[in-house]
């Protein structure tokens, strides 16, 4: 097998739950050595105990975010635990955490705290609100950020309550943003020999993804609102349509797609109607156009429409999660990987979306709590058995 692109990169992580572990798992899939530092006094990462599928300080939820990593139990609040951590920092490339904004400084996880230990170290923090501002010390989660950042206000039907995205989109986007920041800083440190602090917050990430919504709101008299049938704010037709047996998604982002759509639907007269001649026209007369299209879409099943339109008009079925995981494109792209686990057996998981030579094809399962503590201390730090036992007896390691 070819060499993994991040082979030889060692990253220490103090992270739990979803956002941070999601991001660092991508780096593990690309060959980085991810050493997960867990607090033995609280049973490690809280996601080990997320129901419904649990087994001995482990869960399928935990497995979803931590495959291919190593677990070392260190009490970072113990002075001897800090000493062990510093020894690991000396032989590592980066330290990542996704703690509350005021915690990295208290636990000595910042570049300011570690630059004298290893001047090349990159320190990356992912928190809900960042280390500055009035909410820096508050805990925060994807659900809360979707409310804060306006996402819920534009999700759902106009006459219904606000809704959240069905998956933890802010957590995952924050994880990706943090890994991009970490790798950019690591690239610079390799050139200059000097590390740095990198900070990413879920709130900042969510606001940045408001993108053109924000630009329109900040610069014109425009207000984002929930649209019926998940319609686009300004493009028409671009929304879900009910069919005879389900739903279909149509997205006419170019005039040629609009023209081809109505031709294939047997409605060529719509191209001659001045009310629908351009994107601005169709937006102005949306209430007249959409009922015409809805009536026609309900004459056939979703598979029949897909057969007719696919490849000529941007369209998709509204799949269930189970259907999405069986999609021929997903399978062709090897997006499902098998992971062998000592308790759960073969776990099928989703793969990293980054395709390049050397990606780990047969990842190890997420580690048991403290599974690699002794091995890391012996093999990486050259600690002897007496030293390890002394640290354990003092409560510095688990």
Please report, for the chain, the start and end positions of each structural domain, with discontinuous segments joined by +: 10-208+334-394, 228-318
Residue 95 contacts residue 114 (beta carbons within 8 Å): yes
At 96 the pLDDT is 98
Low pLDDT (below 50) residues in the chain: none
Q: Whose structure tokens read 């792209």?
A: 333
User: Residues, the chain, total?
Assistant: 398
At 161 the pLDDT is 96
At 179 the pLDDT is 98
CA angle 16, 18, 21 (to 5 degrees): 60
DSSP H or E stretch at residue 172: helix 169-192
| Cα–Cα nearest to 185, from 199, 195, 177, 176 | 195
- The DSSP line for 100-152 is -TTHHHHHT-SHHHHTTT-TT-EEEEEESS-SSSTTTTS---HHHHHHHTTTG
* Region 228-318: CATH code: 3.30.1540.10
For strands 247-251 and 315-317, give the pairing.
Answer: antiparallel
Q: How far apart are CA 95 and CA 110, in angstroms?
A: 8
CATH of 10-208+334-394, one of 3.40.50.2030, 3.20.20.100, 3.40.50.2300, 3.40.50.10540: 3.40.50.10540
Order of all β-strands in the sheet with 315-317: 238-242, 247-251, 315-317
Q: How far apart are CA 318 and CA 67, in angstroms?
A: 30
DSSP-derived letter for residue 76 is: T
Residue 181 contacts residue 198 (beta carbons within 8 Å): yes
HSE at residue 396, side-chain half, CA atoms within 13 A, is: 19
Cα 161 from chain centroid (whole Å): 26
Residue 59 contacts residue 50 (beta carbons within 8 Å): yes
Q: How far apart are CA 47 and CA 254, in angstroms?
A: 44
Q: What angle, rounded to 10 degrees, do the helices at 255-264 and 302-309 form?
A: 120
| Cα-based distances in Å from 387 to 18, 53, 80, 278 | 34, 37, 11, 75
Q: How far apart are CA 180 and CA 149, in angstroms?
A: 22
At 1 the pLDDT is 53
Backbone angles phi, psi at 353, to 5 degrees: -80, -10
pTM of the model: 0.94
10-208+334-394 matches 228-318 in fold: no
Q: Is 386 exposed, middle or buried (0-12, 13-18, 19+ CB in 10 A)?
A: exposed
At 2 the pLDDT is 80
Using DSSP, state whether 251 is helix, strand or coil.
strand
Using DSSP, state whether 83 is helix, strand or coil.
helix
| Cα–Cα nearest to 200, from 95, 55, 98 | 98
Residue 69 contacts residue 370 (beta carbons within 8 Å): no
């Amino acid at each position: 097998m070819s060499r993994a692109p991040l082979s030889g990169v060692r990253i220490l992580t103090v992270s739990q739950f979803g956002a941070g572990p999601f991001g660092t798992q991508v780096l593990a899939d690309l060959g980085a050595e991810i050493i997960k530092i867990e607090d033995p006094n609280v049973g490690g990462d809280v996601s080990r105990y997320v129901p419904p599928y649990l087994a001995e300080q482990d869960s399928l939820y935990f497995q979803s975010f931590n495959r291919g990593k190593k677990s070392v139990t260190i009490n970072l609040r113990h002075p001897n635990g800090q000493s062990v951590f510093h020894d690991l920092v000396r032989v590592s490339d980066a330290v990542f955490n996704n703690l509350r904004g005021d915690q990295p400084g208290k636990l000595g996880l910042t570049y300011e705290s570690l630059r004298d230990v290893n001047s090349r170290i990159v320190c990356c923090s992912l928190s809900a609100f960042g280390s500055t501002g009035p909410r820096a010390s508050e805990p925060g989660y994807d659900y809360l950020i979707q409310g804060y950042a306006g996402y819920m206000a534009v999700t759902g039907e106009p006459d219904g309550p606000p809704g959240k995205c069905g998956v933890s989109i802010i957590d995952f986007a924050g994880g990706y943003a943090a890994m991009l920041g970490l790798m950019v800083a690591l690239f610079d440190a390799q050139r200059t020999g000097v590390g740095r602090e990198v900070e990413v917050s879920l709130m900042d990430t969510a606001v940045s993804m408001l993108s053109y919504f924000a630009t329109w709101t900040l610069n014109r008299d425009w207000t984002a609102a929930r649209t019926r049938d998940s319609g686009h704010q300004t493009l028409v037709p671009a929304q879900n349509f009910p069919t005879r047996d389900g739903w279909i998604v149509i997205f006419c982002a170019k005039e040629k797609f609009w023209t081809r759509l109505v031709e294939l639907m047997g409605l060529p007269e719509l191209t001659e109607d001045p009310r629908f001649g351009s994107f601005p026209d169709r937006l102005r007369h949306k209430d007249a156009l959409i009922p015409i299209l809805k009536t026609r879409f309900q004459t056939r099943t979703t598979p029949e429409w897909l057969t007719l339109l696919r490849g000529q008009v941007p369209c998709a079925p509204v799949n269930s999660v189970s259907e999405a995981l069986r999609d021929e494109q997903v399978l062709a792209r090897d997006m499902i990987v098998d992971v062998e686990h000592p308790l759960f057996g073969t776990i099928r998981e989703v793969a990293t979306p980054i395709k390049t030579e050397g990606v780990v094809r047969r990842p190890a399962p997420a580690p048991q709590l403290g599974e690699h503590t002794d091995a890391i201390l012996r093999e990486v730090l050259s600690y002897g058995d007496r030293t390890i036992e002394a640290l354990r007896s003092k409560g510095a390691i688990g």
